[in-house]
Copies of this chain bind each other. A is one copy, B any other.
């Protein structure tokens, strides 16, 4: 059984699973639904994953890793100013949430459905992503762009961004980039 590999095949199956998990939630997504989406029968699914939990683990690992990579790239490419870094981080976060609309959303919204071992294994990855955020927030605080408690500011900002998943309409007039600008303008009191 191909457990714990990361073949292109498994990656593709993971991608398809993420889509269903976002649409219906983990608990309501059956292995039969997953198999149908993948074009195989439900029994065949267990050749690729040990059990349903392992699919969730794969999706969340993929989603967090991807968010981490994209955020790092965004920070590398932008100006070194505290404001530019804040903008870049918010934009990257929203794009992984609202444009991909898949694995990163599952990582945020289905985290509680992980069993304890998987949560333990993935918490380091999640912590690394949050550390990136806190570093950017620290810079903004040091630059006097924003004020307040580092821990709370980081969580309020991430909360505002994470909640967009619930109301954002991709067919509407605003892009993820617009949202990032508006949020940063709101907390820094500069014009959008």
- Residues of A at under 8 Å CB distance from B? 25, 27-28, 112, 146-149, 152-153, 155-164, 166-167, 174, 179, 182-183, 185-187, 189, 191-192
| Selected A-B contacts with CB under 8 Å, 24 pairs | A25-B27, A27-B27, A146-B186, A147-B186, A147-B189, A147-B191, A148-B185, A148-B192, A152-B186, A153-B182, A155-B160, A155-B164, A155-B167, A156-B163, A156-B183, A159-B161, A159-B162, A159-B164, A160-B160, A160-B163, A162-B163, A163-B163, A186-B187, A189-B189
Main SS at interface, chain A = helix
Q: How far apart are the CA atoms of A156 and B183 in the complex, in Å? A: 7
Determine the chain B residues whose CB is within 8 A of the CB of A192 once the complex forms.
Answer: 148-149
Residue of B nearest to A164 (CB): B159
Determine the chain B residues whose CB is within 8 A of the CB of A186 once the complex forms.
Answer: 146-148, 152-153, 156, 187
Q: How far apart are the CA atoms of A143 and B185 in the complex, in Å? A: 17
Q: How far apart are the CA atoms of A164 and B156 in the complex, in Å? A: 8
Residue of B nearest to A148 (CB): B186
Determine the chain B residues whose CB is within 8 A of the CB of A152 once the complex forms.
Answer: 174, 179, 182-183, 186
Instruction: Contact check, A157 vs B155: say whether CB atoms are below 8 A apart.
Output: no
Instruction: Contact check, B159 vs A25: say whether CB atoms are below 8 A apart.
Output: no
Residues A182 and B148 in contact in the complex (CB < 8 Å), given A159-B161, A161-B159, A162-B159: yes
